[in-house]
């Protein structure tokens, strides 16, 4: 099960890298950024496909999407100096709380 979570973390990291690089593709008109984005998304989905062999798809996807969103937002705010309104901050806080609650809920068979 630990390997499953390692793969999930790697899937999230690959998705965050791909999404963060999207603006550099200039609408998929620049070759190398486009190759990096497509390769990173491919790796992310390949790893996620392995993760769902052990974790329920709903749980795996909620963690993948929620944490991916959080990290991309953090990159936008801290590295790209994008602004964040109070409403947007509240929204991302709800995403984090949701991911925590999903993990605390355990699995139901």
Number of structural domains (the chain) is 1
Residue 108: band (very low, low, confident or very high) from pLDDT cuts 50, 70, 90:
low
Average pLDDT over residues 43-52: 98
Q: What phi, psi does 73 have (nearest 5°)?
A: -60, -45
Question: What does the pLDDT look like over 63-106, one tens digit per residue?
Answer: 999 999 999 999 999 998 999 999 999 999 998 898 888 888 76
Please tell me the pTM assigned to this model. 0.88
In a domain, 49, yes or no: yes
In a domain, 83, yes or no: yes
12 lies in which domain range? 2-104
Half-sphere exposure of 74 (CA within 13 A, CB side): 10
In a domain, 74, yes or no: yes
Quickly list H helices, the chain: 2-21, 31-51, 57-78, 86-104
In a domain, 85, yes or no: yes
In a domain, 30, yes or no: yes
In a domain, 109, yes or no: no
């Amino acid at each position: 099960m630990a390997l499953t979570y390692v793969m999930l973390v790697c899937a999230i990291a690959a998705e965050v890298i791909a999404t963060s690089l999207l603006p550099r593709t200039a609408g998929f008109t620049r070759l190398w950024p486009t190759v990096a984005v497509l390769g990173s998304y491919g790796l992310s989905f390949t790893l996620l496909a392995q993760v769902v062999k052990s974790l329920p798809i709903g749980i795996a996807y909620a963690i993948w999407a929620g944490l991916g969103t959080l990290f991309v937002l953090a990159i936008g705010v801290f590295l790209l100096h994008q602004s964040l309104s109070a409403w947007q901050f509240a929204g991302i806080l709800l995403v984090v709380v949701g991911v925590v609650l999903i993990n605390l809920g355990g699995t139901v068979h």
